Amino acid sequence: MKLRAYAKINLSLRVFDKRPDGFHNLESVMQSVSLFDLITLSPLSSGIEVICDDPNVPSGRENIAYRAAELYFRTQSTEHRTQSTGIKIEIKKNIPMAAGLAGGSADAAAVLFGLNQMMTGDRRLATGDLLKLGARIGADVPFCLTGGTCLVKGKGEIVEKQSPWPKTYFVLVCPEIQVSSKWAYEEFDNMHLNVLEGIKNDLEAVVVSKHEVVAEIKEKLVSLGCSEAQMSGSGPSVFGAVRHKTEAENVFNKIKDDFPRSFLVETVDQGIELV
C-alpha cells in the first residue's frame, strides 16, 4: 500500500495557557498543502521495520511512524485478544524535518490510516477512534488524519473541518536550520509575549529573535509579489501566498537560488491519500 502524507501550514496560530500535561492550548487554522512524503506499507509476519531514504530519520522507536504502528497493533491486540501481524514502513522523505510542516506527524497519520485500511470488519477502527489514537502519538496527528482546512483547538486533538480554502498557491521556503517545537514553546513562555497586532503566528517573534533569516524570507517573498507571508507552526519554514499559478512560479524561480529548499505548493483537501 502506498500513501501520500501531505504537509501542513498554519494559516494562523494563537498560543494560550500551558496545560497540566505540558502542552499549550492553541487555536490554529491549519491547511494541507501538496508537498508530501511517500509512505509504503508492506505486511510482515511480525515486528515493525522502518526504512527511510533520509539517513537523518531514525528507524526505531524514536521514529513517530514506528510508534504509531506500535500503538495501533497494541490497540488491536487488546480489543481482539489476538496477536497482530507486523509491518514494514518505507518513507520517501520530501517534507523537511523540524520545519513547522508536520512532516513526522503526517507520516504517523499515514501509518495509522494505512494500517486501519488493511483491517476488515469490526477490526477496522471508526474515524473518531483513529483520531483519538493519533492524539496519543502527537499534537498534529489528528489534523494530518483529517486534512484540508481545519480549525484546530486544545493541544491539537480538537479538529473541526472547515469549508475548503479557495485554491491558493504558496511558495514555501525552508532555510537550512531546524527549530525544535519544544524550544519554541518554552521560549514563548519565557518571553511573556503579548499578541501583536497583524501577526498571525504567535511563535513567529520567538523564532525571529534567534533566527533573523525568517524575517528576511518574509520580506523577500512579499517584495517578489506574494500578497502576504508568514512563518508556519514553530518554524522556520515561511510561506508566501499567491492566487495565480504563473505568479507563484515567477516568485519560486526568483527565490530558489538563494534558498534551495523552496517548494511551489497548492492547497489540497485531504491529509492522507492512497496512490
Residue at which a domain ends, from 121, 147, 162: 162
- C-alpha span between 124 and 75 (Å, rounded): 11
The verdict on 112 and 237 lying in the same domain is no
pLDDT for 193 equals 60
Helices 103-118 and 64-80, packing angle to 10 deg: 30
pLDDT digits (tens, 9 = 90+) for 117-176: 999 888 899 999 999 999 999 999 999 999 999 999 999 999 999 999 899 999 999 999
pLDDT for 116 equals 96
Coarse DSSP helix, strand, coil percentages of the chain, rounded to the nearest 5 percent: 35, 30, 35
pTM metric for this prediction? 0.94
Q: Count Cα atoms within 13 angstroms, Cβ side, for 41.
A: 28
The verdict on 104 and 36 lying in the same domain is yes
- Domain, as residue range, for 41: 2-162
Question: What phi and psi, each to the nearest 5 degrees, are found at residue 126?
Answer: -70, 160
Mean pLDDT of 171-200: 83
When the pLDDT of each residue in the chain is averaged and rounded to a whole number, the result is 93
Counted residue by residue, the chain has a size of: 275
Please name the residue that has the C-alpha cell 489534523. 143
The verdict on 91 and 175 lying in the same domain is no
pLDDT for 173 equals 98
The verdict on 89 and 189 lying in the same domain is no
Rg of the chain in Å (alpha carbons): 19
Spatial CA neighbour of 218 closest among 210, 230, 204: 230
pLDDT for 191 equals 82
Provide the CATH number for the domain around residue 14.
Answer: 3.30.230.10
Cell of 47: 515486528
Cβ(80)–Cβ(74) below 8 Å:
no
Residue at which a domain ends, from 162, 196, 217: 162
Pairing state between β 86-92 and 169-173? unpaired
Helices 64-80 and 127-137, packing angle to 10 deg: 130
Question: What phi and psi, each to the nearest 5 degrees, are found at residue 180?
Answer: -75, 130
- C-alpha span between 85 and 71 (Å, rounded): 13
Integer angstrom CA distances of residue 45 from 42, 76, 87, 206: 10, 15, 8, 47
The verdict on 131 and 12 lying in the same domain is yes
Lowest mean pLDDT among 69-73, 90-94, 140-144, 197-201: 197-201
The verdict on 93 and 135 lying in the same domain is yes
Provide the domain count of the chain: 2
pLDDT digits (tens, 9 = 90+) for 80-109: 655 568 999 999 999 999 999 999 999 999
152 contact partners, CB below 8 Å, separation of at least 6: 26, 27, 28, 29, 30, 142, 143, 158, 159, 160
Which active-site residues does the annotation give? 8, 140
The verdict on 31 and 95 lying in the same domain is yes
β partners of residue 265: 170
Residue at which a domain ends, from 162, 181, 215: 162
Provide the CATH number for the domain around residue 177.
Answer: 3.30.70.890
Cell of 274: 492512497
The verdict on 158 and 90 lying in the same domain is yes
Integer angstrom CA distances of residue 142 from 67, 127, 272: 15, 10, 11
Which element (helix H / strand E) includes 7? strand 2-18
Cβ(239)–Cβ(171) below 8 Å:
yes
